[in-house]
Amino acid sequence: MSSDAVAGRSRSPAHKRAIELWMEGERQRAFDSLLELAADQAELLNDLGVMAAELGGRPEALSLLGAALAVDPDHAEARANRDRLDGEPAPWRTSASLGGPDPELPERAFPGMPAAPVMREHALRYAFTLDLVAGLRVLDLGCGTGYGSEMLTWTATSVEGFDLWRPDAGETPRWPGAPRLSFGHDLCTDALPDADAAVAFEVIEHLEDAPAALRRIWRSVSLVIASFPNPVFHGSHHNPYHVNDWDLETFERELTR
């Protein structure tokens, strides 16, 4: 903050005076003055918080409602809205279409999915990976709802997730670790950013041109950590969304060529 900043922005006289007090060393007076001005915006912040919640942005909603209470601790409506959000699951997690066209088929892993053992298997893959990607920039390919991308943020420097799925309105996943998730992304044709490592768990079997996708992935990273379902027990005869039934030898050859 500088005197130039004071002059270069459009501020009310009271706002400008508070900044000047700050620059003059009267910091507590400056803070109290700005806090008094900001209290008038508590209603605006509350309404923004409610809108953010309705749009599925629960973290943003909680931040906005917290800001409303920070400037006006007695704002009863903002307090009630924040308490309600604190006690409810994020709206996107309860979407009826989150599991895809057939939620009973353990295909897309999602919070509350009926096949708990499958969810455990999916989570274990990411848990295994945490020490391998520590401190790295990571791409999570076929990230689905982003539960694994969130896990990777616990050790990775950054995480970007990509998935072909296009979430319906209000069901776009949002996670506390804030991995960057991109939806409607086709691994067979769409470009990927440069990174250190890529994770591809249970996705290669879905790709119409998996060899091309793998070549594209290797152009972006120097490390790929991948898994592929056993075609005997989880092949296309069991899951209609699988288009490749590679055996282990084929998978290893295609992954490393």
pLDDT tens digits along 126-161: 999 999 999 999 999 999 999 999 999 999 999 999
On the question of pLDDT at 24 being above 60, the answer is yes
Interval 180-192 mean pLDDT: 95
As given in the structure block, the two tokens for residue 235 are 């092949």
Interval 23-47 mean pLDDT: 87
Place of tokens 């895809």: 100
On the question of pLDDT at 232 being above 80, the answer is no
- Closest by CA position to 183, among listed 210, 208, 160: 160
Contact (CB, 8 A) for 85 and 53: yes
Better-scored residue on pLDDT, 86 or 211? 211
Q: What is the side-by-side strand order in the sheet with 137-141?
A: 180-183, 158-163, 137-141, 197-201, 223-227
In Å, what is the CA distance from 122 to each residue of 2, 72, 98, 126?
Answer: 51, 44, 17, 7
pLDDT tens digits along 61-112: 888 998 998 888 888 888 888 887 877 677 788 887 888 877 777 777 888 8
pLDDT at 130: 97
pLDDT at 133: 97
**pTM of the entire predicted model:** 0.68
Distance CA 82, CA 14 (A): 30
Phi, psi of 49 (to 5 degrees): -60, -45
On the question of pLDDT at 197 being above 80, the answer is yes
* Beta strand ranges found along 23-152 (DSSP E): 137-141
Better-scored residue on pLDDT, 28 or 108? 28
pLDDT at 90: 73
pLDDT at 237: 64
